[in-house]
Amino acid sequence: MGRYQKTIFLDRDGTVNEDVGYLSRPEDLYIFPFVKEALSLFNSNGFRLMVVTNQSGIGRGVYDESALHAIHAKMQKELDNAIDAFYFCPHLPDTGCECRKPNLGMIEAAKKDHPIDMSGSWVVGDKDIDVELGLNCGLRTVLVETGYGRSHSGILRRRPERIAANLLEAARYITNRNKPTLPKSSSRRTMSSSPK
C-alpha cells in the first residue's frame, strides 16, 4: 500500500481559492496567487496534499457532481496536479451525514484510500469547522485569514495551533514546525589548571 506519509488536509473555498458562494462553474474559479508556492513548499517537505470540502450546493441542486469534477480538473491544471486527492460532502447541513465537516467521514475515507501518518498531518482552513475537524481527529490545525478566516477567528469554540494570514504563511509555519530538530552543539569550556 506504500509508506505512511504526513498529509495536509486542505479546505477548498476561502483557503485555496476565492469563496464566491456556490462555486458552480470552472470559469468562476480564482486560485489565490500564493497557493502554488505554498503547495510546492508542502511537497518539498514530504507532505501529501488532499482537499476536503463541504459542497452542499450539490444537495441544494445549484450544481451537480460533474460540475464539481470539472472545477477540480481546472484546479489541478492550474496547480500542476499538486493535489493528491479530493474528498467532498454533497449533503445538506441538516441531513446528519458522517462526511460533512466537522464530522470525520472525509478523513476516514482518505485513510482507507491512502497510508497516512496522522501524527504528522494537519488540517488547514478558513472556518471554525475546519479547526473542529482537525481537533476531532487529533490533528494539528491552522486557521487562515483568507475567506471567512478573519471573521471566524473571533468566534472559535476551540483554538487552532496557529492563525495565519494565508496558505503560504501556514505552509511556512507548518514546514518549519515539522523540520527535525538538530542537537545543539555543546559549547566547549576550557578548564583552568590552576586551583580555584
- Tell me the pLDDT tens digit for each residue of 17-65: 999 999 999 999 999 999 999 999 999 999 999 999 999 999 999 999 9
Q: Is 126 a catalytic residue?
A: no
Residues in the chain, total:
196
Kindly state whether residue 189 falls inside one of the protein's structural domains: no
By residue range, what is the domain housing residue 27?
13-177
Cα distances (Å, whole numbers) of residue 164 to 11, 49, 176? 14, 18, 14
d(CA 150, CA 170) in angstroms, rounded, equals: 14
Q: Is 11 a catalytic residue?
A: yes
Which residue numbers in the chain have pLDDT < 50?
184-196
Which one is catalytic: 11, 126, 128, 130?
11
Kindly state whether residue 94 falls inside one of the protein's structural domains: yes
Residue 73 maps to which CATH number? 3.40.50.1000
pLDDT at 189: 37
How many domains, the chain? Answer: 1
d(CA 70, CA 26) in angstroms, rounded, equals: 6
Residue 174's closest CA among 16, 34, 5, 45? 45
Kindly state whether residue 49 falls inside one of the protein's structural domains: yes
pLDDT at 103: 97
Kindly state whether residue 1 falls inside one of the protein's structural domains: no
Kindly state whether residue 2 falls inside one of the protein's structural domains: no
Kindly state whether residue 71 falls inside one of the protein's structural domains: yes
Kindly state whether residue 127 falls inside one of the protein's structural domains: yes
Kindly state whether residue 5 falls inside one of the protein's structural domains: no
Helix, strand, coil percentages in the chain from 3-state DSSP, rounded to 5? 35, 15, 45
Which one is catalytic: 13, 126, 128, 130?
13
